[in-house]
Amino acid sequence: MTESSKAFEMRHIVKRFPGVLANDNVDFACRTGEVHALLGENGAGKSTLMNVLAGLYRPDAGEIFIGDRRVNLRSPQDAISNGIGMVHQHFMLVPKHTVAENIILGLNKPRFWLNLSQIKEQVEALGEQYGMSVNPNAKIWELSVGEQQRVEVLKMLFRGAKILILDEPTAVLTPQEVETLFGTLRNMTEIGHTIVFISHKLDEVVKIADRVTVMRRGRVTAANVLAEGITKAQLARLMVGREVLFKTEKKDAQPGEVVLSVDGLCADDDRGLPALQNISFNVRAREILGIAGVAGNGQRELAEVLTGLRRATGGVIRFNDVLLGRHTNWLKINEQLAHIPEDRAVVGSVPALGVAENLILKRFYRPPIAAGWSIDTRAMHQNAVRLVEEYQIATPTVDTPVHMLSGGNLQRVILARETSSHPKLMVAVHPTRGLDVGAMEAVHTLLVKQRDEGAAILLISEDLDELLSLSDRLTVIYEGRLIGEMPTERADIPTIGLMMAGVEVER
Amino acid sequence: MKRLIASYRIRIDTRLDNPGWRGVVSSILGIILALIVGGFVLKAAGASDPIATYREIFKEGFGTPKDWHAGVIALMNHTACPKGKLCFGPLSDTLVKTSPILLTALACIVAFRMKLWNIGADGQMFYGAWAATWVAVFLLPKTTDRWVMLGSMAMAGIFAGLLYGMIPGLLKAYLNINEIITTLMLNYIAYKWIEYYVVVGPWSIGDFESTGHFPAPATWPRLTEYAKRIPIVSGLTIHPGIFLGIGAAILLAWILNRSRWGYQIRVIGNNPNAARYAGISLSRNIVLVMALSGALAGLAGMNEVAALRELNGRFQRGYGFTGIIIAWLARLNPLAAILVSFLFGGLLVGTKLIQPQGIASMLQGVILFIVVGAELLFRYRIRLEKIEPIVSDTLEVIHDS
């Protein structure tokens, strides 16, 4: 391999955050025209490393070379002028603006006079060239998530990016959209672009990457491994440092009485548009009902209505034969009704309060935590010490504010709180999103354990592997309606994928 | 990030840790910086020596060690305060001022903890004063037992403030009307209400714009009443109202830190989404917290009329706003508010005779400004960073050997 075939090289990168060594002397290089997967658990330092390359973070030590030139990337503008563009997990688009307006956003190129029609032509041409056309006049909010992602990619290409970093690009896509994305990426590498593909989904890595670099705890554990011929199990071991169970061990379900019964449920979303339209289903004790679907098809609203965060506009919800509605005192029943929310930081935790205080969020109202009108701080601490131990929450003290914990640890705090009370019903929304293989395994085992202990579980997820391996029954939500229900044994990924895209499949 | 000079720039990073001592440092630095800035203003206003002015303010507000020493000796010798010495006079005056501002500060603290911006403690206090006056002058006979009378007045003050605080609470909880606007506007209604009753209306006695002196049981007993037995207390107006403030502070600290309700308040204040998720009712707590806030301010009003011994047209405005500043300086900690209120009481007493008037308000404003500004320094790390020589396409190219 000659030096000139290198697209870029990062040498001895060190990046510290208060209390964390996110990148510990990391070397990373890509060849021109390859798809290079950067694989690792959460908190392994992948995103940090790529944020350094994209100019968002400045490394504390280390050098970056583009081709043979040493560069100093002080801002995303520096990175883009050196041909490096990054597409983040959360899109950075203005929903009310058009595609073309978003693409030129932040460019200082039309200095004053905006010639939008010319830009629109350029955007269209670019889209055709790479096989990912988007209507430049469309407003962002009118587009599907997959299309929005295309806009982000086009934005980078428009700025002349040769090296494209994609941070977990498939997290929000349907299986079909993933196929389309992979096709586009192939086109791009043929033209000579280099792709860095950050992921912790092993299947995708095996499928799309030419080479793989694995990171663990801020260090590279395997560099430039050829993706051809490697197995998922090998990659997982590199990533986690131990063998990982892919199929969660699970006995057959022994469904008991109906715990949750939903009939003709309707609800509106935040904009007041119907999000749930006449949904009916049952969940029994000791079973897991999986609901598959692409994000934004009513899953969030469904979970919120079931847990009292959103008001239904119609229909009936029965929980253990009690009607849930506006007169429900949620403080009294919330311990039996566990909810692992989609957005852990925004909904599931109180950032400035300590671990111990977060762990009592749903049981402060009753003894033993409550003692009359007061809170028994000793009981609160004992509860925290026990759960920190049992759920292996890594925290300096039980009084540490939870905003200082990592994402995985925060999820453990929430899981500890929600599962330790032996709930009758558990609503889990994307419980493993953003978690690495190891943590994912722990969550899956925990959910199955809850089921076996008698809980009714409603699992809302986008991860088909997760749904197939955990659910006893499976249904798909599309535009606020449930389309089709089947026992998991009869489900397969292509069929569910089609249903997630709104195609009613005759079975 | 902005470039300041050619090769330096200011870099702002979020601090991940934020230990409690930083808040204390911020409050103390705020006061010191405010005194420095205030010194320049004093100088501009014509004071020849701002430091001497400050010394004078301190002397008027707290007395000097010499005064205290003379007071202790007089107390032990069972004599009156020697001529030319202030003894405990300033401290007594300051403690009298401390109680109403401590209570309004507590009113602000409980609301601010839930991020409810009640700036209407002033109006709630006025209604408390009005209701206490009504009980004292018109409801109960003049011969009522003193503690029954004062207790009834306190209940009336609390209840009136509670109701007046609940109005913006209900509007916020059920109609989502901004409480900043409503509480501010309700202040003016309360001012005019009192004005109507004692200046033009039914409660004024002749042209005095006053209800006239309260019956004796409706007034706080003052220490000076015991001057016959203990000569040193002669002239000291200090009364038990200060214990109301301290007691309320301890109670509020317990509520916020140890009670089930306080836990709910803190959860809502920090993350309302998580509160809803936990089943905590936001609207209910908005009403309850505004009611408690108003009740504390109402008690301040009762305390103040029982000390003034009448309700008149010159009933002091602005305690509610001083309460806001104290709440922030105390970093919303009820116990810290006791100390801060005492210092502010001294500032109010000490600046009474200083010309130009309004020095106290000016210093208060500067202190708040600086303390709030200092928040930035504690939430973010700001530093000057040297920019390394730029290496880009057009400049230097380092070749890999």
- Ordered by start, the domain boundaries in chain A are 3-240, 258-336+423-500
Ranges of beta strands (E only) in B62-201 are: none
Nearest residue to B386 via CA among A92, A72, A388: A72
Residues 6+ apart with CB under 8 A from B254: A374, B262
Could you tell me the two tokens for B244? 């109301």
| pLDDT the model gives residue A201 | 74
Q: Buried (b) or exposed (e) across B367-401, using 16+ Cβ within 10 A?
A: bbebbeebeeeeeeeeeeeeeeeebeeeeeeeeee
Query: What residue spans define the domains of chain B?
Result: 94-355
In this prediction, residue B350 carries a pLDDT of 87
Q: Any idea which residue has 């939903």 for tokens?
A: A262
Show Cβ contacts of residue A150 under 8 Å, excluding neighbours closer than 6 positions.
Answer: A127, A132, A134, A184
Contact yes or no for B303/B100 (Cβ under 8 A): yes
Asked if the Cβ–Cβ distance from B277 to A374 is below 8 Å, we say no
CA distance B268 to chain A (A): 9
How far is it, in rounded angstroms, from Cα A101 to Cα A136? 8
Q: Whose structure tokens read 């800035």?
A: B37
Q: Which of B87, B81, B34 is nearest to B59 (CA)?
A: B87
Q: Which pLDDT score, from 0 to 100, does residue A507 have?
A: 52
Which string of DSSP letters, residue by residue, matches B11-68? Answer: EEEE-S---HHHHHHHHHHHHHHHHHHHHHHHHHTT-S-HHHHHHHHHHHHH--HHHH
Fold (topology level) of A3-240: Rossmann fold (3.40.50)
> Which residues from A are below 8 Å from B256, CB to CB?
none
Count CA atoms closer than 13 A to B243's CA, side-chain side.
Answer: 5
Coil vs helix vs strand at A363: coil
* Residues of chain A found within 8 Å of residue B17, distances taken between Cβ atoms: 18-19, 404
Interchain contact, B276 vs A309, CB within 8 Å: yes
Which ipTM value was assigned to this complex? 0.80
Could you give the CA distance from residue B83 to residue A501 in angstroms, rounded to a whole number? Answer: 93
Locus of tokens 């990619």? A153
Q: What is the pLDDT of residue A382?
A: 93
Residue B48: per-residue pLDDT: 80
User: What pLDDT sits at residue A243?
Assistant: 57
- Asked if residues A283 and A457 have their Cβ atoms less than 8 Å apart, the reply is yes
Exposure b/e, A66-77, CB count within 10 A at least 16 = b: bbebbbbbbebe
pLDDT of residue B180: 95
Tell me which DSSP letter residue A459 carries.
Answer: E
Residue B9: the pLDDT is 67
- The alpha-carbon gap from B18 to the nearest alpha carbon of chain A, in Å, equals 10
Both tokens of A386, joined, read: 């026990």
Q: Please state whether beta strands A194-199 and A35-40 pair in parallel, antiparallel, or not at all (unpaired).
A: parallel
> And the tokens for A219?
């260090």
The pTM for the full model equals 0.75
Neighbours of B221 (CB within 10 A): 15
In CATH, the architecture of A258-336+423-500 is 3-Layer(aba) Sandwich (3.40)
Chosen from A5, A80, A374, A418 to mutate, greatest number of chain B CBs within 10 A: A374
Strands (E), A18-75: 20-31, 35-40, 61-66, 69-71
Interface of A with B in 305-334 (CB under 8 A): 307-309, 329-334
Contact B249, B337 (CB under 8 A): yes
Query: Are the CB atoms for A69 and A8 separated by under 8 Å?
Result: no
Residue A113 has what DSSP assignment? Answer: -
The tens-digit pLDDT sequence of chain A (507 residues) is 444 488 899 999 998 876 667 888 999 999 999 999 998 776 678 888 999 999 888 888 899 998 888 988 888 888 888 999 999 877 888 888 888 888 888 776 656 667 778 888 888 888 888 878 788 888 888 887 788 888 998 988 888 889 999 988 887 777 788 888 898 899 889 888 999 998 877 778 888 899 999 888 788 888 888 888 887 777 777 776 665 555 667 778 788 899 999 999 999 887 777 889 999 999 999 999 999 887 678 888 898 898 888 888 989 999 888 888 777 788 878 888 888 887 777 788 998 899 999 999 988 888 888 888 899 999 999 999 999 998 888 888 889 888 878 777 888 899 899 888 888 999 998 888 767 677 788 888 889 988 998 899 999 987 777 888 889 999 988 888 898 888 888 877 777 777 776 677 655
- Inter-helix orientation angle B50-62/B20-44, to 10°: 120
Instruction: Please give the radius of gyration of chain A, using alpha carbons only, rounded to the nearest integer.
Output: 24
How many helices (H) and strands (E) chain A has is answered by 16, 22
Nearest to B214 by CA among B135, B100, B145: B135
The four Cα atoms A89, A94, A96, A102 give a dihedral, to 10 degrees, of: -110
Shortest CA gap B280–chain A (Å)? 6
Task: Specify burial of residue A456 (Cβ count, 10 A radius: 0-12, 13-18, 19+).
Answer: buried
Average pLDDT for runs of 10 along chain B of length 401: 52 63 77 85 81 88 91 89 87 94 97 95 96 94 92 97 97 95 96 90 82 90 88 88 96 95 94 89 95 97 94 89 91 93 91 76 79 71 61 36 32
| Token pair in block for residue A134 | 């988007």
For residue A71, give the nearest of B266, B273, B391 by CB distance. B391
Is A359:A369 a contact under the CB 8 Å cutoff? Answer: no
Structure tokens at B114: 């839930």
Q: Are B309 and B219 in contact (CB under 8 A)?
A: yes
B-facing residues of A in 279-308 (CB < 8 A) are 307-308
Cis peptide bond upstream of B240, omega within 30? no
Point out the residue among B278, B393, B400 whose CB comes nearest to the CB of A362: B278
Q: What share of chain A is helix, strand, coil (3-state, %, to 5)?
A: 35, 30, 35
Say how many Å lie between the first and final Cα of chain A, rounded: 53
Class of domain B94-355 (CATH, top level): mainly alpha
